[in-house]
């Protein structure tokens, strides 16, 4: 009935019960449930090793259940409410289009390892493997740009990139301005006091423009 390795025929004698063969057929991607007298049956009437007592010839057909595999989603530090999906052997399923969320991170896709930085599957993509799988969210920390403005001077440092949740060490390079002393950096071009120093720490999770704070030299 679609499988292979069915037991050999057996002979039953009138008035004597027959013990059915304990051998079981096999079928790739299916589980053998037992035997039935119809090729289209979904539930078995007889089982390997059970008793056949009718005084009549019979053909017993294998009853098969297709193997089913579970796709489990793990937000991997994020949050969402997404149920598992199931696929039958040989079937290709469309993965959920729902995406988990995580503060400060961008969802990139799914991988089969919780530590993976590369994506194996996308939301709404397809999964065709005949195996259970747990898909872990792959996250990329949001990036923020720290821009330096010499604010009338020259030689401001190049921009830096800060990642969510990680402190950034500001550039130790200092700009110059003829007749002025550099005091540090501020978030306003008109500031007279510095909020940050060269080589200091920037911890905000936001883009920022830092303006040089200058003090005129006195003579």
Model's pTM, two decimal places? 0.82
Q: How far apart are CA 23 and CA 1, in angstroms?
A: 15
CB atoms within 10 A of CB 198: 18
Phi and psi for 200 in degrees, rounded to 5?
-80, -170
163 Cβ contact list (under 8 Å, min separation 6): 141, 142, 143, 144
Q: What is the mean pLDDT of residues 182-200?
A: 98
Q: What is the pLDDT of residue 81?
A: 83
pLDDT in tens, 140-169: 999 999 999 999 999 999 999 999 999 999
pLDDT in tens, 91-134: 999 999 999 999 999 999 999 999 999 999 999 999 999 999 99
- Please give the mean pLDDT across all residues of the chain: 97
Residue 13: which of 53, 58, 61 has the closest Cα? 53
The answer on pLDDT for 82 being more than 90 is no
């Amino acid at each position: 009935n679609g499988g292979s390795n069915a037991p050999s025929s057996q002979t039953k004698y009138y008035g004597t019960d027959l013990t059915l063969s304990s051998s079981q057929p096999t079928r790739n991607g299916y589980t053998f449930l037992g035997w039935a007298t119809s090729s289209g049956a979904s539930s078995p009437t007889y089982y390997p090793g059970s008793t056949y007592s009718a005084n009549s010839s019979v053909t017993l057909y294998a009853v098969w259940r297709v193997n089913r595999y579970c796709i489990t989603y793990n937000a991997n530090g994020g949050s969402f409410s997404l149920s598992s999906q199931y696929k039958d052997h040989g079937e290709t399923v469309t993965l959920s289009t729902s995406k988990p969320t995580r503060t400060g991170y961008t969802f990139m896709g799914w991988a089969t390892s919780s530590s993976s930085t590369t994506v194996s599957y996308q939301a709404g993509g397809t999964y065709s493997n005949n195996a259970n799988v747990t898909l872990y969210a792959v996250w990329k920390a949001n990036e923020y740009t720290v821009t330096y403005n010499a604010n009338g001077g020259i030689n401001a440092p190049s921009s830096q990139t800060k990642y969510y949740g990680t402190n950034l060490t500001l550039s130790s390079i200092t700009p110059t301005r003829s007749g002025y002393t550099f005091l540090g950096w501020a978030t306003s071009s008109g500031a007279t006091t510095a909020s940050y120093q060269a080589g200091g720490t920037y911890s905000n999770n936001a883009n920022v423009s830092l303006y040089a704070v200058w003090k005129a030299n006195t003579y």
